[in-house]
Amino acid sequence: MLASSSQTSQRCSGALCDSHGRRVQYFRLSITDRCNLRCLYCRSQIQHKFIPHPQVLRYEEILRLTHIMVAAGTRKLRLTGGEPFARKGCDRLLLMLRERFPTLDLRLTTNGTLVEPYIPLLKRVGVGAVNLSLDSFNRETFAHVTGRDFLPAVLSTLDSLLSAGISVKLNAVAMRGINDRQLDDFVHAARTLPVDVRFIEFMPMGNGTLWGPETFWPADEIYRDASRLAELRPETERREHAGPARMFKVAGGKGRLGFISAVSSHFCSTCNRLRLTCDGHLRTCLFDDREYPLLELLRRQDCTDAELDQVVRQACLHKPIGAEILKQRVQGKAVAEKQMVGIGG
């Protein structure tokens, strides 16, 4: 249930809040739009033009913005991309973030192909959990989805993360005709490994997206079919840990299965996120192409932190309800022009 504006102003004085009463505490930061994979769902058929280096946020700019966000109530920061470790110095950035923000809940989303040498560092800086993209346990399908034959590398990273005692969420984008015949493998993983295996509904992002009725595999259907393979017990999470996934313990198993129904059943009322693209565009909703350019401001000599804070607050006030944008989507078209590789997921 969304709040009225008078309820909002009472509840949100000081903290970063939007006009629907949602408190924004989760900052997703894309540090690069470069990636060594070519995932079908992330980059559409239309060639993504990489952002030139001078337009990419420098690490000191990222630290300054993080400082502003933390002062405004950010509790959780996720580094994403592109592939975060495709950017030189990502390890250094993690160290600096930890040094400056000792209590920040630091997270990472990665394709797992470049991160393995840095696992001791992730442990050292206390990365709370790693979201590892893994859309198939079948080598051929993996290569088809990602454009690269890197499944063994990702499985090795998964193994090393678990051995290091780092909590792992496996993210699989559910695609009909691609990985829908492999539900057993995912259920098997959730049964035998201490991980969260989460299906994310394929979202129609970016012009030229492959999204359509023939590729969309809805969460309810996956849940129904998975329930035939294992007994799934619903889990209720403490509010502060609850993400958008509906989570189920696999009876008699080590892990959990989850379903993120970003398209079929929205969770906008609890959305607490802001996103920043690697070229400094603040995005208040995944589905909304309206962005607030911060890079120019950041690089203006006379721009103070207070001014930047005001811009973020104003942007936040206009954070929309993504489901309404999704509803207005013109049949056959993407919901947003930007591809996920340029946003960060």
- Residues binding ligand SAM (CB under 6 A): 35, 41-42, 80-81, 83, 109-111, 133, 171, 173, 200, 202-203, 205, 340-341, 344-345
- Closer by beta carbon to ligand SAM, 68 or else 200: 200
CA distance 274 to 312: 9
35 vs 62 by CB, closer to ligand SAM: 35
Please identify the residue of the shown chain whose CB is closest to the bound ligand SAM: 345
Q: How far is the CB of 119 from ligand SAM (least distance, A)?
A: 16
Contact 326, 294 (CB under 8 A): no
Q: Which is nearer to ligand SAM, 42 or 321 (CB)?
A: 42
Q: How far is the CB of 307 from ligand SAM (least distance, A)?
A: 30
- For residues 271 and 23, what is the distance between their CA atoms, to the nearest angstrom? 8
At position 139, the amino acid (one-letter code) is R
The least distance separating ligand SAM from the CB of residue 289, rounded to whole angstroms, comes to: 15
Nearer residue to ligand SAM within complex by CB, 110 or 272: 110
The CA-atom distances, in angstroms, between 47 and each of 42, 50, 342 are 11, 9, 12
Q: Which residue has the tokens 């946020």?
A: 57
Cβ nearer to ligand SAM, comparing 42 with 245: 42
* Residue 59: strand, helix, or coil: helix
62-92 b/e with 16+ CB inside 10 Å = b? bbebbebbbebbbebbbbbbbbbbbbeebbe
Long-range contacts made by residues 145-150, C-beta under 8 angstroms, separation at least 24?
Answer: 145/39, 145/40, 145/41, 145/175, 145/178, 145/179, 146/37, 146/38, 146/39, 146/40, 146/111, 147/37, 147/38, 147/39, 148/36, 148/37, 148/38, 148/113, 150/37, 150/111, 150/113
Pairwise CA distance, residues 308 & 300, whole Å: 11
How many CB atoms sit inside 10 A of residue 46's CB? 11
Name the residue nearer to ligand SAM (CB basis): 79 or 226. Answer: 79
Closest approach of ligand SAM to the CB of residue 211, in Å: 7
Whose Cβ is closer to ligand SAM: residue 203's or residue 295's? 203
Query: Which CB, 35 or 315, lies closer to ligand SAM?
Result: 35
Both tokens assigned to 130: 């790693």
CA angle 106–96–157, rounded 5-degree value: 50
Angle at 22 between CA 21 and CA 26, to 5 degrees: 155
Q: How far is the CB of 15 from ligand SAM (least distance, A)?
A: 27
| CB of 314 vs ligand SAM, minimal distance in Å | 27
CB of 127 to ligand SAM, least distance (A): 14
Q: List the beta bridge partners of residue 256.
A: 196, 249
SS3 233: strand
What's the closest the beta carbon of residue 131 comes to ligand SAM, in angstroms?
Answer: 6
- Nearest approach in angstroms of CB 297 to ligand SAM is 25
Cα gap 92→89, rounded to integer Å: 5
Residue closer to ligand SAM (CB basis): 80 or 284: 80
